[in-house]
Amino acid sequence: MSPASVPHRNFFSDAIARMSAGTLVSAILFSLAIAGMPAHAQTFTVLHAFTGFEDGSEPEAGLTMDADGNFYGTTYGYGTTTLGTVFELARAGSGWVLTPLYDFSGVDGAYPAGRVAIGVDGTLYGATAGGGNPNCRYVGYAGCGLVFQLTPTAGSKTHPASWTMTVLYQFSGSDGANPQGDLSFDTEGNIYGTTQSGGSTNNGVIYKLTPSSGGWTETVLYSAQNNGDGALPNGGVVLDSSGNLYGVFTYGGPNGLGAVYQLSPSGSGWTERTLHGFAGSDGANPFGGLIMDSPGNIYGSTPFGGGGAGTVFQMVYTNDSWTFSTLYSFSAFGQPGPEDKLTLDAAGNLFGATYEYGLYGRGSVFRLTPSSGGWTYASLHDFIGGPDGYGPNGNLILDSTGNLYGTTANSVPPALIWVGIGNAIEITPESSCQ
């Protein structure tokens, strides 16, 4: 199977496949595990258990936090149209209330496969992997996907009564198809992102959207060739202070196992530079995007390679060259590790989630701490696969007190009468517990 023909993971089918006699065991194990946690260990809380109905299913991309501590996110499927939703998760007393903000209908997008970004005016921006032009088909989707904007149109800024959908740009294939991952913005308000397919060779593109005469104009900055550069740019891009873009190719590269790339403005165009090609022992097939610290060092992860379940890596820039180092290697067979971006706190600790790797093979949330020239791994939660969920493949975010928030793509409710499809979760590390 060529990279461009690899379909998006169907987490709903995955959830059904796991609904077996083992589900009951998982739920029992979950109850025992929570009951047996020491009093000062980190606290795990399900903020919302998705039902697969109006609230959607498969919140696979993680959450975005606004200045008031409310969360916004997307579900890959269901809602009233079965094509995915955008939702708000807001505090209500001692709990949380989820409000669906928008249901995609196909023409205006379908299957959002990334988080939403929040504009300074409270506007939400995001992308859908499908929908848009119904005559354009890549990787099995109806439509090549699009970039959208949701604008609060009534009520207050923090509690709008309604939202207006605007399609900023819909892809047609040659200009990209099936966008996935986070959107990024520069200081001038331009939007940057990646598509999994489309482009001149159907290996995906890195694109820029520029405000123009009341609309938006797309520029393909780079069309992946899969001739040593890479294929399937995933996870979006991160920008440095000089306007360079950094991201990952899931496939291709010098060794065929993916690569880290840099795109630099050059005259009227952009120049692609491969910074690292994965070889297996240092990781394979990076899927999530990159993050950058204040000195300009890059951090990322791979779900495969290393000890079998992926790696966490760092790239340091000195004297016009980049030095790659593996910070941690996950050792397991057949259990994919981290699939999305890492999170970095002020103390230099890295946080992430693994899709299956963990004590029970259902995923984990972890912390890597710099220690004596190396990094020390700590599991903050190993998913049982019951009501706590399983398959976390989105990124995590931190609040000002060190609490972690994220999502799981799948879950099993306590009643065991139906497969619940995902959770929004909170983890309070031990140092934050009162």
133: containing domain: 62-180+183-223
The answer to whether residues 61 and 394 touch, using CB atoms and an 8 Å cutoff, is yes
Give the pLDDT score at 183: 97
Residue 271 confidence class, pLDDT cut points 50, 70, 90:
very high
- Name the pLDDT band for 8 (thresholds 50, 70, 90): very low
- The pLDDT score that the predictor gives to residue 434 is 42
- The overall average pLDDT reported for the chain is 87
The region of weakest confidence among 26-35, 54-63, 91-100 is 26-35
pLDDT at residue number 415: 55
pLDDT over 90 for what percent of the chain? 75
Q: What ranges make up the beta strands (E) of 281-422?
A: 291-292, 298-302, 308-318, 321-331, 343-344, 350-354, 364-371, 374-382, 397-398, 404-408
Domain membership flag for residue 365: no
Q: How confident is the model at residue 27 (pLDDT cuts 50, 70, 90)?
A: very low
pLDDT in tens, 165-175: 999 999 999 99
Q: Looking at the predicted structure, is the pLDDT value of residue 67 above 50?
A: yes
Residue 162 lies in a domain: yes
Residues 212, 217: Cα–Cα separation, whole Å: 6
Report pTM: 0.89
From the number of C-beta atoms within 10 Å of its C-beta (0-12, 13-18, 19+), residue 99 rates as exposed
- The model's pLDDT over 217-231, given as tens digits with 9 standing for 90+, comes to 999 999 999 999 999
Q: Which segment of 32-36, 60-64, 179-183, 344-348 scores lowest on mean pLDDT? A: 32-36
Higher pLDDT, 24 or 263: 263
Residue 433: its pLDDT value, please?
A: 45
- CATH number, domain containing residue 170: 2.120.10.30
CB environment 177-200: b (16+ within 10 A), e (fewer): bbbbbbbbeeeeebbbbbbbbbbe
- With CA atoms as reference, report the closest residue to 184 among 144, 225, 147: 147
In a domain, 265, yes or no: no
Does 18 score more than 50 pLDDT?
no
Q: Is residue 418 part of a domain?
A: no
Question: Residue 6: pLDDT above 50?
Answer: no
Per-residue pLDDT at 388 exceeds 80? yes
What would the mean pLDDT of 360-380 be, rounded to a whole number? Answer: 95
pLDDT per residue as tens digits for the range 215-266:
999 999 999 999 999 999 999 999 999 999 999 999 999 999 999 999 999 9
* pLDDT > 70 in the chain, percent: 85
Distance in angstroms (rounded) separating the CA atoms of residues 289 and 117: 15
Identify whether 326 is part of a domain: no
pLDDT over 80 at 402, yes or no: yes
pLDDT grade, residue 159 (50/70/90)? low
Q: What is the pLDDT of residue 386?
A: 87
Assigned domain for 30 exists:
no
pLDDT(406) > 70: yes
Look at residue 42 and tell me if it is in a domain: no
Note the pLDDT of residue 14.
38
Per-residue pLDDT tens for 179-224? 999 999 999 999 999 999 999 999 999 999 999 888 999 999 999 9
Residue 356: partners with Cβ closer than 8 Å, 6 or more residues away? 309, 334, 335, 336, 337, 362, 363, 391
Q: How many domains does the chain have?
A: 1
Confidence of residue 73 (pLDDT cuts 50, 70, 90): very high
Give domain status of residue 147, yes or no.
yes
102-157 residue pLDDT tens: 999 999 999 999 999 998 878 999 999 999 988 887 666 789 999 999 998 866 55
> Residues near 169 by Cβ (< 8 Å), separated by ≥ 6?
146, 147, 209, 216, 218
pLDDT, position 304: 97
Contacts (Cβ under 8 Å, ≥6 apart) of 382: 33, 358, 359, 360, 362, 363, 364
Residue-level pLDDT at 153: 82
